[in-house]
Amino acid sequence: MTSRFRHPYLVLATVALLWGGNAIAGKLAVGHVSPMLLTLLRWTFACLFMAPFALSDVRREWPVIRRNLPFLFALGGLGFATFNAIFYLALNYTTAINVTIEQSAMPLIVLLANFVLFRMGVSAFQVVGFSLTLVGVALTASHGEPSTLLSLDLNRGDALMMIAVLLYGGYTVALRFKPQLNWRSTIFVLAASAFVVSVPFALGEWAMGHTHLPDGQGLSAALYTAIFPSLIAQSLYIRGVEMIGPNRANLFINLVPIFGAFLAVVIIGEELRTYHLIALAFVLGGIMLAERGAARRHRTPDTKTAPR
């Protein structure tokens, strides 16, 4: 380890901070730019910012990219474009605190998918940790009333966010099959794929008469999402998965609600309710237990099979 910033925990904690900020930017964009247009602007700006640095790598690695283009397009279209389109739409109906806490269900999706598809082993600590996380997510999605889950009486935004969680969990699992490419090539190709997929989303929004052109605040939100959650955080997240594997890396998404709740209270003045605090306690306890269990496994399957 030649640099502290190369430590996987610091890399993935930075990702969580920037993604927590994504929820704040998305909430600040409500009423200032429509969600599908925000998604399109995010990936348009991301491609423009990345192109001068990535095109030479893309040209050099084009034979590998071309062979894997359908898979890479699916990764960018689902993990980047569709996830964020649903994410920003959800923020029109629920709070930034809620969506950040609900993101904590992603590790559970990754755990189950890796176990079912690849028979990837987990420790007892990880099972307990994921279970605690699930309790925290259930409390948040039900607004402190878990009985509403039994009747499927969910806020529209919270229900949309759970769909987005499923998509990004699948994206994380699929990263294990990512071809060996320079990180600049990877991010640019995925961002370009997200741009292409975002176009019909924005056109559909316009056809339904729901397009809201950005004002200054909406444009600022789009620029933030393009630079920090898109380019910087996505690059670091891919690196984090490479360093410690998808099961352990995805645990750090549980830090998103910690950062997101703090930013939501400080920046946009959202109210932190009692059930939010209880949910955050479950989430933080869950990540600590699960990571302790992962660290005790000397040669875990996810470490050996993570993309290099």
In a domain, 280, yes or no: yes
Structural domain count of the chain: 1
Amino acid at 117: L
In a domain, 102, yes or no: yes
**85-94 confidence digits (pLDDT tens):** 999 999 999 8
pLDDT at position 308, please? 28
In a domain, 3, yes or no: no
- pLDDT grade for 241, boundaries at 50, 70 and 90: confident
Residue numbers of the domain that contains 51:
8-305
- pLDDT grade for 108, boundaries at 50, 70 and 90: confident
**202-233 confidence digits (pLDDT tens):** 999 999 999 999 999 999 999 999 999 888 88
Q: Which residues contact 195 (CB under 8 A, 6 or more apart)?
A: 40, 43, 44, 46, 47, 81
User: Of residues 209 and 152, which shows the higher confidence score?
Assistant: 209
Cβ pair 306, 251 in contact under 8 A: no
Q: Which residues contact 220 (CB under 8 A, 6 or more apart)?
A: none
Cβ pair 87, 161 in contact under 8 A: yes
- pLDDT grade for 105, boundaries at 50, 70 and 90: confident
Span 63-79, average pLDDT: 95
Maximum Cα–Cα distance across the chain: 56
In a domain, 234, yes or no: yes
pLDDT at position 307, please? 31
- Among residues 56, 34, 47, the alpha carbon closest in space to that of 208 is found at 34
pLDDT at residue 28 above 90? yes
User: Of residues 104 and 146, which shows the higher confidence score?
Assistant: 104
In a domain, 116, yes or no: yes
Percent of the chain with pLDDT over 70: 83
**156-194 confidence digits (pLDDT tens):** 888 899 899 889 888 888 888 889 888 889 999 999 999
Lowest mean pLDDT among 81-85, 145-149, 201-205: 145-149
DSSP state string for the chain: ---GGGSHHHHHHHHHHHHHHHHHHHHHHTTTS-HHHHHHHHHHHHHHHHHHHHHHHHHHTHHHHHHTHHHHHHHIIIIIIIHHHHHHHHTTTS-HHHHHHHGGGHHHHHHHHHHHHH-----HHHHHHHHHHHHHHHHHHTTT-THHHHTT---HHHHHHHHHHHHHHHHHHHGGG-----HHHHHHHHHHHHHHHHHHHHHHHHHTT------HHHHHHHHHHIIIIIIIIHHHHHHHHHHH-HHHHHHGGGGHHHHHHHHHHHHS-----HHHHHHHHHHHHHHHHHHHHHHT-TT-HHHHHS--
Span 136-155, average pLDDT: 62
- pLDDT grade for 143, boundaries at 50, 70 and 90: low
- Bin 307: left if φ > 0, else alpha if -120 < ψ < 50, else beta: beta
- Among residues 70, 88, 82, 74, the alpha carbon closest in space to that of 34 is found at 88
In a domain, 73, yes or no: yes
In a domain, 1, yes or no: no
| Alpha carbon distance 248, 126 (integer Å) | 9
Percent of the chain with pLDDT over 90: 38
In a domain, 2, yes or no: no
